[in-house]
Copies of this chain bind each other. A is one copy, B any other.
Amino acid sequence: MKTKPPRLADVAKAADVSTATASMALNDTGGTRIGAGTRERVRAAAADLGYRPNRVASGLRTRRTHTLGFVGDDVATTPFSGQMIRGAHDAAREAGFMLLIVDTSGEAAETGEAVAALQERQIEGILLATMYHQVVKAPKAIATTPCVLLNARTPDGSASSVVPDERGGTLGLLAELTGAGHTRIGHITTTEDVEARAIRLATWRERVEANGLHSDDLLVEIDQATTRPAHAAALRLLDRPDRPTAVFCFNDRVAMGVYRAAAQLGLRIPEALSVVSYDDQELIAPELQPALISAALPHYEMGRWSVLELLRRLDNPEAATVQHLMPCPVVKRESVAPPR
């Protein structure tokens, strides 16, 4: 049979002090009231017994559980989201916190239930993460528990949030192309209604039209941002004499389709066609030949930031909310060359 773990009372008895003294000695609380010798005796006794505090008990007393809730919509499913969790996890751990993770379908009712279940467990704050960058309405939970939105923001700034700087990333990618001398830059995007699409598209359009070009001639839309439809779209965009000299792809899977189409049309990348893309997926961008220039989604950093912001709000609940844009670094590889 397993023997019960030691309690604070056992440590106190071993060190021949009261539980109050033992508690203060171990937690460095109570100012100078604990003598150095006493403190050492208690410490030694604790180490000796292999004492580990029961955080449920101390949590009940102090109302601090050192635990944060992470609720994500399908978040554990996507390769990206692992990075958000990991960023949040690492920052939490550095501050002595742990993460209670709940995955939902994203429906409001289910999210509400998840938040309530976390609150029952007395988590100190909540991270609300979404799989794709989006705008959501303010969660009801903010009334009762500090919240930070991850990969989402509210329309009104009523909660702190962090999202990728899609505009900045797009400008960085386009700078790679214009820096090499391209002006006729095509874009293949999706018709899905997501923030990422809207911002990347608008930023590209603005740039292309600044060059005096008609953006509609250079744009192809597909209903799913995956390889197969992208391949067909790329054939349409590239199989004509006035084709663009460079293509900005909505994401890396689209870029895969473009590579395939280019091979089929006898267009060498980057000599005959430059390609840039978004997402920097580990299994795609560095593996394509030539390796693909792509703007990375800073999921890890966003995860970290969200926890730091949440902890800041725990310390200072009245602090103003902040909406953060996390830079999307452009990873430079070999898919761009000057136009011919």
Contact = CB atoms under 8 A, between A and B. Distances in A.
A52 interface: yes
A284 interface: yes
Interface in A82-108: 82-83, 85-86, 89-90, 93, 98-103
Contacts of A256: 287
A99 B101 contact: yes
Q: Number of contact residues on A: which range applies?
A: 35 or more
Contacts of A121: 55-56, 67, 98
Given A120-B53, A121-B55, A76 B65 contact: no
A281 interface: yes
Interface string A220-255: 000000111000000000000000000000000100
A170 interface: no
Contacts of A55: 120-122
A77 interface: yes
A236 B86 CA distance: 40
12 contacts: A5-B144, A52-B116, A53-B120, A54-B122, A76-B85, A77-B82, A77-B86, A85-B101, A86-B103, A98-B117, A100-B101, A281-B283
